[in-house]
């Protein structure tokens, strides 16, 4: 412990210096250098490689802007992960989500800088600052994970102009610059809607991985947020329920109409059914047949893992996860996610003998990954395109 605190202080100083250097670099790149160049141009001063220099400066500005936006979105995702981790820990234990965090070991109050996602863990070397008790690396990993989910969604849906969406809007201009100067609200709201869904699935997966029951409050909150978003901006529902049944006309609707309402209701029902199927598949052990390690008695697995065996407890949770997917994306997506889930689960189990990966291969985490894959490749999942008569 005695040599730990100087190490943490040292890391903090390094990060602080790095942030200051970045701020100075941004100031130079966006204010000082353009000003000086402009001044030189106006006063008729020319030097040999002037145009080359201007190109380089512009290139660097573009790069800095892109890097800033992408890092910011990733950081936003990890902030949500940090908050949802608190929700996932406290709500099943009946505690208030307000109030500051404490170290579970020594009960010391955590300061602002300890709570900063990713950096807090890295700067403290994965230990509590007062008692040096280790903080699980999974906090760092799940924060990076949701950050990556946000970044990927943001790239395909906003920066690349909804490349993945089954009903692509007319987008002539794509890229970060156009996002900043002429924002496309159709795409931004779609991103927000899908990010919300992923946050809901993330929270359920974290709670399920600890073997806790999913509190109704968490489910209701996610569902209400999705329904509120879809009824205010119905175009965020990408595929109407009629796609695959009949011809699709007048879609997306201007206001929340009957078709939109039916899409949500039918989607939720289909999602719950898909979840029950997933539960049954798990119980029957179809996934286990493909994975011999899993066919061993649970005791053998429990020895190498201090995580409790999670079968059974994820049963109800997978129904809730799939229900949210159906509610948010429609019945067609519920089928796709169920398919991807059944493919992904045995594969993840095969790849994950370790404790940590065992954590990500629980049913609800797989449902979250399957949903992410489905959204990312939505328009290439052919039947949808066929149904929409494109
Ligand atoms: Zn402590």
> For residue range 329-342, what is the model confidence (pLDDT) as tens digits?
999 899 999 999 98
What pLDDT, on the 0 to 100 scale, is given for residue 74?
Answer: 96
Distance 185 CA to ligand 1 centre (A): 45
Task: Measure 130 CA to ligand 1 centroid, in angstroms.
Answer: 5
Q: List, for residues 137-189, the tens digit of each pLDDT value.
A: 888 888 999 999 999 999 999 888 888 888 776 776 677 777 777 788 888 99
User: How high does pLDDT run on average in the chain?
Assistant: 81
Question: What spacing in Å lies between the alpha carbon of 368 and ligand 1's midpoint?
Answer: 32
pLDDT band of residue 229 (cuts 50, 70, 90) is very high
**Residue 83 CA, ligand 1 centroid: distance in Å:** 19
How far does the centroid of ligand 1 lie from the alpha carbon of residue 8, in Å? 14
109 DSSP β-pair partners: 102
Neighbours of ion ligand 1 (CB under 5 A): 103, 105-106, 108, 128, 130-131, 133
Q: Determine the distance separating the centroid of ligand 1 and the alpha carbon of 136, expressed in angstroms.
A: 13
Query: Residue 257 class from Cβ within 10 Å (0-12 exposed, 13-18 middle, 19+ buried)?
Result: middle
Task: Calculate how far, in angstroms, residue 104's C-alpha sits from the geometric centre of ligand 1.
Answer: 7
Q: How many residues does the chain have?
A: 390
Determine whether 333 is exposed, middle or buried from the number of CB atoms within 10 Å of its CB (0-12, 13-18, 19+): buried
How far does the centroid of ligand 1 lie from the alpha carbon of residue 131, in Å?
A: 4
The structure's pTM equals 0.84
Query: Residue 70: what pLDDT?
Result: 93
- Three-state SS at 134: strand
Going from the Cα of 132 to the center of ligand 1, the distance in angstroms, rounded, reads: 6
Q: From the CA of 110, how far away is ligand 1's center (Å)?
A: 9
Task: Give the separation between CA 76 and CA 117, rounded to whole angstroms.
Answer: 9
* The pLDDT of residue 294 is above 60: no
Residue 266: what pLDDT? 93
Report the candidate in 122, 157, 135, 165 with the shortest Cα–Cα distance to residue 15: 122
Cβ atoms < 10 Å from Cβ of 42 = 8
């Amino acid at each position: 412990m005695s040599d730990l605190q100087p190490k943490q202080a040292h890391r903090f100083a390094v990060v602080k210096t790095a942030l200051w250097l970045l701020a100075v670099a941004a100031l130079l790149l966006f204010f000082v250098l353009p000003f000086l160049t402009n001044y030189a141009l106006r006063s008729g001063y020319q030097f040999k490689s002037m145009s080359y220099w201007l190109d380089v400066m512009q290139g660097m500005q573009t790069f800095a802007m892109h890097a800033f936006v992408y890092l910011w979105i990733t950081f936003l995702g990890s902030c949500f992960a940090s908050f949802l981790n608190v929700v996932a820990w406290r709500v099943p234990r009946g505690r208030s989500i307000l109030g500051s965090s404490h170290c579970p070991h020594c009960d010391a109050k955590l300061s602002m800088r300890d709570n900063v996602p990713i950096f807090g863990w890295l700067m403290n070397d994965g230990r509590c600052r007062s008692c040096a008790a280790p903080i699980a690396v999974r906090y760092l990993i799940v924060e990076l994970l949701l950050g990556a989910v946000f970044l990927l969604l943001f790239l395909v849906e906003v920066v690349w102009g909804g490349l993945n969406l089954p009903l692509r809007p007319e987008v002539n201009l794509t890229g970060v610059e156009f996002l900043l100067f002429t924002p496309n609200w159709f795409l931004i709201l779609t991103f927000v809607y899908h990010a919300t869904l992923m946050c809901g699935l993330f929270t359920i997966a974290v709670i399920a991985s600890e073997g806790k029951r999913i509190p109704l409050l968490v489910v209701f909150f996610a569902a209400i947020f999705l329904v509120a978003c879809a009824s205010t901006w119905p175009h965020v529902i990408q595929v109407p329920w009629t796609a695959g049944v009949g011809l699709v006309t007048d879609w997306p609707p201007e206001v929340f109409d009957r078709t939109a309402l039916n899409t949500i209701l039918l989607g939720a029902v289909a999602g719950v059914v898909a979840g029950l199927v997933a539960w049954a598949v798990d119980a029957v052990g179809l996934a286990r047949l493909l994975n011999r390690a899993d066919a061993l008695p649970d005791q053998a697995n429990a020895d190498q893992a201090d995580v409790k065996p999670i079968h059974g407890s994820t049963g109800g949770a997978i129904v809730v996860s799939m229900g949210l997917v159906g509610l948010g994306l429609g019945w067609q997506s519920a089928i796709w996610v169920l398919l991807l889930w059944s493919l992904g689960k045995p594969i993840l189990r095969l790849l994950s003998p370790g404790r940590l990966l065992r954590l990500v291969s629980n049913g609800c985490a797989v449902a979250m990954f399957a949903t992410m894959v489905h959204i990312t490749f939505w328009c290439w999942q052919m039947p949808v395109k066929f149904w929409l008569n494109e």
